Amino acid sequence: MTRIQRLIAAALIACRAAVGIPTIEVKGSKFFTSDGDQFYVKGIVYQSANSSTNYLTNGAQCKIDAKLIAATGANVIRVYSIDPTLSLDECMQAFADENIYVICDMSTPTYMIDKNDPKWTLNLRNQFAKVLDGLHQYDNLFALFAGNEVIVEPNTTVAAPAVKAVIADMKAYRDLMQYRKIPIGYSATDTRTSTSLQDYLDCGNDTIAADFFGLNSYAWCGDSSFVESGYSQLYDRAEGYDIPIFLSETGCNVIEPRDFADQNALLGRQMNDRYSGSIIYEWNNDTTGYGIVNYPNSVATGTPTLLPEYTSLQSRWSTLSPVGVKATAYSPSLAKRDCPKSTTSVWSVQVKDGTVLPTLGLSGFTAPTGSQTTRKTGGATSGTTAGSSPDNTSGGGSKALGPGAIAGIVIGAVALLLAIVLIALRLRRRKKNKAKEVVVNQGEDAPFKGELDGNGVSRNVPQQGAYQEMQAAKDTQEIGTAQAQYELRGEERPGELYEQQHQAVHDTSNFHEPQYPEQPQPAVEPSPHVQAQRRREMEWLEAEETRMRQQRERLMQQGSQNVG
């Protein structure tokens, strides 16, 4: 790859990274991207073969899995826990590159609300805050669960106030640290308590209520139906609900192979006006038998084998792409639910406990003071204000870039790209003119030999396989055969130039600028192959310029709408 090509590719990467992956926001009962499009969940539970907390730490494996997960049509993965002290950069980037969002539980196998002895303690609060600190910086962080299936049967409903206190305190911490409005909700099991729990987590004001409600339901098995499966009842329960609701686990395997027919209802017209999609359980086929792929070893690494369920899910989702409503056209007027009344057989929590919670507040936390940290934006980084938790865990005041700021970045990047293109064209013309003026060295070591023309005048003819420098400057030379791996092949798409450079930018640990022997080149017109290649490069540049201009216009229009 020539120096000019590297500069152009780098400028394109900067343009794309500046836009980044849009964040997810809640408005009324729906999810929207920060671009204003309604977002429907097509998710897969992504976990290892064991119950380790170290998900999203194997960057090489995430790159393999992210491409395969994206190929199913998925746009979300769910992980049950992470270790916030470990780096998640490579995995989060791998999924961002595939336009996949991550939804994560704040609890871990060690730190969680115990359904049998529910207590919300300062230690738990600080540990949950660390998870928020470790994930908030990634724009493809979709949402966080305050708990998963803590309340199951009527005797465990006493844990509901503790779960709601987690939501209230973590939302307060999120806002104190000036993080973006990352949605915080709960994942419930579908039992006779779930209707009351759904109402309970929603009642009260926005500071203590859940931002969304997830439901784990495996009721649709095999050749079932909307009514027979009970999905019609789930749909009825969501009527007038003022926050998003979706299935946070689904995928009954009583009848195999699974055909995922329930997705037609969830993402189709039967339910998609009230439900925001679902998450399939699960990716890896461990001992539960719910997986859609098999790994060649017990630690779930390497390239997995795709099971029939993988193809079935892929086929199902390929026909389901709900568009929904634009955020600008959506003006909800929905009310929160009343807190459920206590009943001996279903719900044991008193009505007043829906708003009077065992919250711990923000004592010990330090708000941002102006120091800077780095925010991951699916390729770009930006300075943000940082704060700290009681044990000096770093946080960050991560605010999403506004449309005007993004538009400014894109405009600047496009201007840089155009300048580089103009310089490249000028250098190319100068190079062509220099070729006509080149002086050939007639010494013994010259790669040219003399030959007489018809008038007896000596002329220079290149020997077979020899090359001559086009310019006097020795550091400017055409790519020779030893550098062919960096040159676009004739059958390659022009866009592949970006893909190669994109990989190089994100994996530079072992990169060294290649050193090649100086190879002179002929002072003749480039071959048809090279000319065709250059035409492809220019067509590619023109196409990229058009795409970036359209992106700029769209962002400017969005910025104008927001200002208006």
Q: Which residues are marked as active site?
A: 149, 249
**Residues present in the chain in total:** 564
Helix (H) or strand (E) holding 557: helix 528-563
Q: How far apart are CA 94 and CA 106, in angstroms?
A: 21
Tokens standing for residue 233: 């009842």
Output the 3-class SS for 13-44.
Answer: HHHHHHHCCCCEEEECCEEEECCCCEECEEEE
E-only strand ranges, 206-344: 213-216, 245-250, 277-280, 293-294, 305-306
- Residues 6 or more apart from 530 whose CB is under 8 A from it? none
Closest CA to 333 of 244, 246, 240, 271: 240
Closest CA to 26 of 216, 171, 228: 171
Helices (H), 438-527: 496-506
Closest CA to 208 of 372, 361, 388, 323: 361
Residue type, 229: S
Closest CA to 138 of 308, 374, 332, 306: 374
424-427 own/partner pairs: CB under 8 Å, 24+ apart: 424/4, 424/8, 427/4
Tokens standing for residue 505: 């930018």
β-strand partners of 41: 277
Would you say the C-alpha torsion 78, 83, 88, 94 has a positive or negative sign? Answer: negative
The CA R_g of the chain, rounded to the nearest whole Å, is 29
| DSSP at 257 | S
Angle between the N-to-C axes of helices 3-19 and 528-563, in degrees from 0 to 180, rounded to the nearest 10: 20
For residue 240, what are the CA distances in angstroms to 26, 194, 199, 248, 419? Answer: 16, 17, 12, 20, 54
Tokens standing for residue 311: 């193809």
Residue type, 29: S
